[in-house]
Structure 1
Amino acid sequence: MTPQQTIFSLSADELAQFHRDGYIGPFDLYSPDEMERNLRALRPKLLNTKTSIYAEEQAISGSTNLANYDRHLDVDFLAEHITRPEIVDRVASILGPDVLCWRSEFFPKYPGDEGTDWHQADNFSNVAGSKHPQIVWPEDADFGGTITVWTAFTEASIDMGCLQFIPGSHKTMNYDESKSMTYDADAINKVDKNGVRRGFFGYDYRQLQKDPNWSPDETKAVSQVMRQGQFVIFWSTLMHASHPHSGKSSNMRLGYAGRYLPTSVRVYPYSDELEEFGGKARLDKFGNVLVAGQDSFGHNRFADATRSGRPFEPRQTGARA
């Protein structure tokens, strides 16, 4: 760390708020004009999935969902994004100085698209065909799940399908990820839940409920409206959802989520492929990205650079205890 380095760690009050509510933000990262310029330059690269680490599997399975995964490993702007100090410092103040990014995903919502149903994720085996946990915390860990940093690459209003949170709900898991969900692509945009169109990308997340008669208390829900270029941080175990895209705007809502863990957590320890949302992908080209500190465990695979050669350089966020 150099004296000139700007530190973006959460304050003590912000950390207390985060641990109480399970989320914090939004924070400014890009101005709307800057984000729009970046998005214009980014779109052609996203459409060209040949450089994606899952390109071959996408062609075989016909799945377009996996094309949204881990593009930070082949698109330099996204590689820079997940390592931005404005993000990494805040995440490290929650997780500790040694942090990796294990996944990133795009979440597009087009005019008329359904909302995303209420859900929580602890070990991410919920949509895995193998039913193996995708992340495994140490047995003595106080936490589970992952830290998600969701950035609004476009405006995220209620009409365009912004996120919703139920504050404090990260302390109790209402879903059993060892249960199975049935994938049905024909159900997308066709499920009505209490007068709201909500689905889960071809799954019905209610199939994982521990109590089939339970339902989330939506009276406590908060709508996370964000301007273009802002980001919000939340535990994946927080009850979260999104509104439908009303179609009042002809613009797509686009979110980009980076998922972060301390290096003590094992990533894909039992799997050599992904099987999600109707597609399969081998993990032989996958690698975590060390975004802060160092890895002293040696149980995870890391990528040193993007496929174009841009190096990943971890940020040093502070001294260790």
Structure 2
Amino acid sequence: MTTEPITPGADRTFALSPEELARFREQGFLGPFKVYEIEEMKDAWRKERLALMDRSMAVYGDEAAESGNTNISNYDRHLDSTFLADHICRQEIVDRVRSVLGPDVLNWRTEFFPKYPGDEGTDWHQADTFANASGQPQILWPGDAVHFGGTITVWTAFTEANEENGCLQFMPGTQQSMFYDETKRMHYFPERINRERKGDVKRGFFGYDYRELQIDPEWSPDESKAVSMVMRPGEAIMFWSTLMHASHPHSGNTDEMRLGFAARYVPTSVRVYPDTEEIEEYGGRVSLEKYGAVLVAGENTYTHNRLVTRTTRGHAFTVR
């Protein structure tokens, strides 16, 4: 597995400089940085949001819709959307990710994160294996990767993201120590949504409570260390999923939704959805039959992951 930084070159315009890489390793995040011009993003999303209403080719479309799993139905729309398929391969993103992960990189999941007027803030959390909901790891790094874990998330603002409408918050430097034990497994109660409070802030986690996973039941996140990530449409931020992160509540002072799109990346050596045929989250299950990770850079010399060729709307999936 390659984890050494890649030297910026003429063919890698957006590769991290040594200073940026050092800052990323220290703080656990980098950005915001521009992926699209503001008007370019607004125009693209205005068109794409209508196209995404057609779920006929979505990998979890019918299954997720029938079970009411709107969270899972937000997953992996890059597999049926040309715009999102192009987005996860944008050089502005992939060059930066390769600087940390090495030359051979998979995108293994994407998710939409809408926040509507009055919605709760997302609770402080970390993700290493993403086993928090099912108790089964969704990603596993090889045994020799003792200093690595989690995934690199690139969160792109499709709309304005600020403290009023629920922008991200980070606690810099917390990516090296896990405060949660994901093997404990959380319990899903949809009636919790928008009804939880953590101190003076309305915070929850889509029907889950991250306090169930705390290694120390008496511990609580130190909110004084929080930094808000204010972003314009078309900007992105890159961070380790093990970095302590959350989001502000949507104040309701504006009727505009805040929308983020998270693309998650790992080296090809990482096993994705190991020994499982389903995603189990949010009180339901969906099949991985049509799922495949996407090779966004380099080559794949491993056989442990299912890969999918990039598709466009209306074409059949090719999983191999």
TM over 0.5: yes
Partner secondary structure for residue 280 of structure 2: strand
* Structure 2 unaligned blocks of 5 or more: 1-8
What is the DSSP-based 3-state SS (H/G/I as helix, E as strand, rest coil) of the residue aligned with 1:56? helix
Partner residue of 2:303 out of 276, 283, 298: 298
Deviation at residue 46 of structure 1 after TM alignment: 2.1
1:72 aligns with 2:78: yes
- Equivalences for 1:261-280 in 2 at 5 Å? 261-280=266-285
Indicate the residue corresponding to 2:212 in structure 1. Answer: 207
Match status 1:36 vs 2:34: no
Pick the aligned partner of 1:139 from 140, 143, 146: 143
- Specify which of 183, 190, 194 is matched with residue 199 of structure 2: 194
Look up the match of 1:91: 97
The 4+ residue runs of structure 1 with deviation greater than 3 A are 3-6, 307-312
CA–CA distance in structure 2, aligned partners of residues 138 and 156 of structure 1: 36
Written as runs of structure 1 = structure 2, the 5 A alignment for 1:111-260 is: 111-128=117-134, 131-141=135-145, 142-260=147-265
Displacement, 1:307? 4.7
Whole-Å Cα distance in 2 between the matches of residues 161 and 4 of structure 1? 38
Give the Cα–Cα distance (whole angstroms) in 2 for the partners of residues 99 and 311 of structure 1. Answer: 20
2:254 partner SS: coil
Taking structure 2 as the reference length, what is the TM-score of the superposition? 0.93
3-state SS of paired residue (2:19): helix
Contact 2:131-2:185 at 8 Å conserved across structures: no
User: Aligned partners of 1:296 and 1:6: how far apart in 2?
Assistant: 22
Q: Distance in 2 between matches of 1:30 and 1:59?
A: 31
Cα deviation 1:7-45 (Å, max 9, x = unaligned): 210000000000000000000011111111011111112
Quick check: 1:274–1:281 contact (8 Å CA) kept in 2? yes
Tell me: CA distance 1:27–1:153, structure 2 relative to 1, closer, same or farther (3 Å). same
* RMSD over aligned Cα atoms: 1.6
Secondary structure of the corresponding residue to residue 247 of structure 1: coil
Q: Tell me how far apart the structure 2 counterparts of residues 74 and 16 of structure 1 sit (CA, whole Å).
A: 36
Distance 1:307 1:7 in 2: 27
Deviation at 1:275, TM superposition (A): 1.1
Q: Which residue of 1 aligns with 2:4?
A: none
The share of aligned pairs that are identical, in percent, is: 59
Gaps of 5+ in 1: 313-321
Instruction: Report the more deviating stretch, 36-45 or 117-126.
Output: 36-45
**1:295 Cα deviation from its structure 2 partner:** 0.4
For residues 192 and 267 of structure 1, what CA distance do their matches in structure 2 show?
34
Q: Which residue of 2 aligns with 1:22?
A: 28
**Partner SS state of residue 57, structure 1:** helix
